[in-house]
Amino acid sequence: MKIGSEAHKQLFCRTFLDHHRPYVPEQLGWPALDDEALTLLRSLPFWTHALQAEEDAGPMITACAALEPDLMVRQALELQAFEEARHARIIKHMIELYGLHADEVQVEIPADVLQAFIDFGFEECLDSFGAFGLFKLAREHLSIPAALFDIFDQVMQEEATHIVFFLNWFAYHQATRGLVPRAFRHPKALRSYVRALRKLAGLASGDTPDGKDFIINGADAFVDHLVPGVVLAACLEENTRRLAGFDRRLLVPQLAPRLARLALGVLNLRPRRGPRRRA
């Protein structure tokens, strides 16, 4: 399929629109949690960050959709904005229901919404790769009711549809403007990719870099005695599973899985070390 063609546009927009599932966040099957589960959720450090990211995304993508001349592409962008706003409602409801800590968040729409959406999209590709694996590990290791994981399973699958939509939208957007539809030609994408490489290099070496690194801090918060290879393998496995159902003519994220495979190869060459301990 020719990237940037009418057929490509129809396929990536139709795929995204067809994946949508209607539900109301507050009416989902939120389970009652025991003290152990509540203490664990309250100890996780990322609720403000998660809420801010989802609250920012909806209005930014709505503004981006308003600039889009093509009706079908505009509808798809509007749907993503709706789903991001629904994610914010899910997190907000969860924070209130379980008494989690999150600071007040304020939403500002960036001046260049198109550029902001491109930055957001590449970040989503990388963060989702990490989140897919962490979610699997959390489900296996944490004593939290399955009903809560079921709610976030739907969110994870929506993020999978977002990243596939975004990559194809980006390539289409570049191609229809006569630009090279290669993600790595984009300076922001390149920067995101370098960041991903450093993240994965940190995991492979067992060093935890400074800063709020979602994969590493998140994994540390979730799972005791974590070994980097286990996280990478979980990310790869889940990434493959969650993207398996998409039409093979669509572009899917390649960089994070390739880097993860490289990092796993490096890990397998190193002498085995004991499990990492939490500080």
- Three-state secondary structure call for residue 120: helix
Separation in Å, CA 78 to CA 17, 83, 169, 181, 183: 10, 9, 13, 23, 23
* Range in contact with Fe ion (rule: CB under 5 A) among 62-70, 79-87, 179-187, 240-248: 79-87
| # residues contacting Fe ion (CB under 5 A) | 4
Minimum CB separation of residue 83 from Fe ion in Å reads: 7
Site string for Fe ion, 95-134 (x = CB under 5 A): ----------------------------------------
Nearer to Fe ion, 159 or 213 (CB): 159
Query: Would you say 183 and 122 are in contact if contact means Cβ atoms under 8 Å apart?
Result: yes
Is position 87 an interface residue for Fe ion (rule: CB under 5 A)?
Answer: yes
Minimum CB separation of residue 125 from Fe ion in Å reads: 10
Nearer to Fe ion, 119 or 159 (CB): 159
Closest CA to 14 of 6, 3, 23: 6
Nearer to Fe ion, 85 or 223 (CB): 85
Minimum CB separation of residue 5 from Fe ion in Å reads: 25
Minimum CB separation of residue 143 from Fe ion in Å reads: 26
Minimum CB separation of residue 255 from Fe ion in Å reads: 18
Nearer to Fe ion, 22 or 274 (CB): 22
Minimum CB separation of residue 218 from Fe ion in Å reads: 15
Which residues, 133 to 172, sit near Fe ion by CB under 5 A? 159, 162
Minimum CB separation of residue 4 from Fe ion in Å reads: 23
Select the residue interacting with Fe ion from 51, 61, 65, 84 (CB under 5 A).
84
The secondary structure element, H or E, covering residue 148 is helix 146-176
Nearer to Fe ion, 89 or 139 (CB): 89
Nearer to Fe ion, 41 or 53 (CB): 53
Minimum CB separation of residue 19 from Fe ion in Å reads: 12
User: What is the three-state SS of the chain?
Assistant: CCCCCHHHHHHHHHHHHHHCCCCCHHHCCCCCCCHHHHHHHHHCCCHHHHHHHHHHHHHHHHHHHHCCCCHHHHHHHHHHHHHHHHHHHHHHHHHHHHCCCCCCCCCCCCCCHHHHHHHHHHHHHHHHHHHHHHHHHHHHHCCCCHHHHHHHHHHHHHHHHHHHHHHHHHHHHHHHCCCCCCHHHCHHHHHHHHHHHHHHHHHHHCCCCCCCCHHHHHHHHHCCCCCHHHHHHHHHHHHHHHHCCCCCCCCCCCHHHHHHHHHHHHHHHCCCCCCCCCC
Which residues, 10 to 69, sit near Fe ion by CB under 5 A? none
How many C-beta neighbours within 10 Å does residue 247 have?
A: 12
Nearer to Fe ion, 4 or 58 (CB): 58
Nearer to Fe ion, 49 or 276 (CB): 49
* Range in contact with Fe ion (rule: CB under 5 A) among 77-85, 168-176, 242-250, 258-266: 77-85
Footprint on this chain of Fe ion (rule: CB under 5 A) = 84, 87, 159, 162
